Structure 1
Amino acid sequence: MSNDHSHDHHHHHDHHKEGAEAPRWKHDGIRVIAGDRLDSNTAQTPGMFRQAAINHARVGAQKIWAGTVAIEPDAKTGVHHHGPLESVIYVVRGRARLRWGDRLEFVAEAGPGDFIYVPPYVPHQEINADPNQVLECVLVRSDNEAVVVNITDVDPVEAPENVYWVDPIHAAPEKS
């Protein structure tokens, strides 16, 4: 019986109804993006370093973006939300503080190994909570297009002074 079965299996292998299938999956299937092969050919800003791993240009991703970001000590964003986008931040090294709410009345911190989920439309501010250490994160967002809606009528509890948190979603403020 076991002999029979292996013969069947072998026979099934030999005869491909769709010969094009195997090569297609070989090149269009699972992709591993090595950590030392990320794409830093993206807008860079002094004091931080961002690299794309997964995006439309690199792997054809339709609905997701992922990459790494390093945020300098004490950096903060202004108050904003990301429209319909969902974001996930995974802290690799350092300490992140998130403030959110209509008046940024809520606060939470995250350290290495922690995940942060940012829902759509939630007004928030990201802060590197450590004045002495770079914050290293992995960022995943639910679209290839960055969406940032700046909120100007809410005063940040912690005002960004000189150092802005800038990453693949958050731009540096316009110089006025």
Structure 2
Amino acid sequence: MSHDHSDDHDHSHDHSHDHEPRWKHDGVRVISGDKLDANTAQTPGMFRQAAINHARVGAQKIWAGTVAIEPNAKTGVHHHGELESVIYVVSGKARMRWGERLEFVAEAGPGDFIYVPPFVPHQEINADPDNPLQCVLVRSDNEAVVVNITDVDPVEKPEEVYWVDPIHKHPQG
């Protein structure tokens, strides 16, 4: 037999909820795809929107959002310190290069996941010269960490459109 507790308390009395778990009043959140936050730094070649972060939902240990990368956009060589990143490819063709000299390469398409471990030098590339790359990005922290690596000559030079955002700074500054 189910019991409805909604009538067990007299709600006309003013009482504190401090003793109750936070999730009772601030629990699961659904962020509609058409309500993402574009109030982030936007630069040519990329459009990034936050769905889950500290400011929007109080997330403590993750950041999640979408990113649209223009055709042929490339980052410089970098790593994200202790952060782990997961990229889910919605549409388009992603190419990842990584290693001390970017000697490793892999490509991912729609439905594929890319995992970038901590401290791995890498370069992210939209491998399609004609179509944007649409991805969902999840990071293991709210803090943006990027360490540019300037002593590695990228195999694919980021000369056309830079993939630049608050995480991926322009190689020239």
Preserved contact between residue 71 and residue 165 of structure 1 (Cα < 8 Å):
yes
- SS class of match (1:112): coil
| Cα-to-partner distance string for 1:99-126 (whole Å, 9 max, x where unaligned) | 0011111100000000000000001100
Rounded Cα–Cα distance in structure 2 between residues aligned with 1:48 and 1:166? 7
The residue type equivalent to 1:79 in the other structure is V
**Identity in percent:** 81
Amino acid in structure 1 at the alignment position of 2:113: F
SS in 1 for 2:34: helix
The alignment partner of 1:153 has SS state of: coil
Equivalents in 2 of 1:118, 1:162: separation in Å? 24
Question: SS state of the match for residue 50, structure 2?
Answer: strand
Counterparts of 2:93 and 2:3, CA distance in 1 = 55
The more displaced of 165-174 and 145-154 is 165-174
Shift of 1:19: 8.4
Change (3 A) 1:82 1:27: same
1-side partners of 2:136 and 2:74: how far apart? 17
For the pair 1:132 / 2:120, whether they are aligned, the reply is no
**Contact between 2:79 and 2:146, CA under 8 Å: does it hold in 1?**
yes
Structure 1 residue runs of 4+, over 6 Å off?
Answer: none
Name the structure 2 match of 1:33.
Answer: 31
Q: Aligned partners of 1:134 and 1:11: how far apart in 2?
A: 51
Offset, 1:22:
8.0
RMSD: 2.3
Structure-1 separation of matches of 2:149 and 2:172: 14
Q: Is the partner of 1:90 in helix, strand or coil?
A: strand
Larger radius of gyration, structure 1 or 2? 1
If the length of structure 1 is used for normalisation, what is the TM-score?
0.86
Which structure has more helix as a fraction of its residues? 1
Ranges in structure 1 where 5+ consecutive residues have no aligned partner: 1-5
**Alignment correspondent of 1:141:** 139
Q: Does 1:161 align with 2:127?
A: no
Instruction: Structure 2: give runs of 5+ residues left out of the alignment.
Output: 10-14
- Of 64-73 and 39-48, the range deviating more from structure 2: 39-48
Task: Tell me the SS of whatever aligns to 2:73.
Answer: coil
TM-score, L = length of structure 2: 0.88
Q: What is the CA distance between 1:170 and its match in structure 2?
A: 1.2
User: Could you say which residue in structure 1 is the equivalent of 2:3?
Assistant: 10
SS of equivalent residue, structure 1 residue 29: coil
Q: Contact 1:76/1:165 (CA < 8 Å) preserved in 2?
A: yes
In the other structure, the counterpart of 1:85 is 83
- Give the match for residue 47 of structure 2: 49
Distance 1:106 1:23 in 2: 47
> What is the SS of the residue equivalent to 2:138?
strand
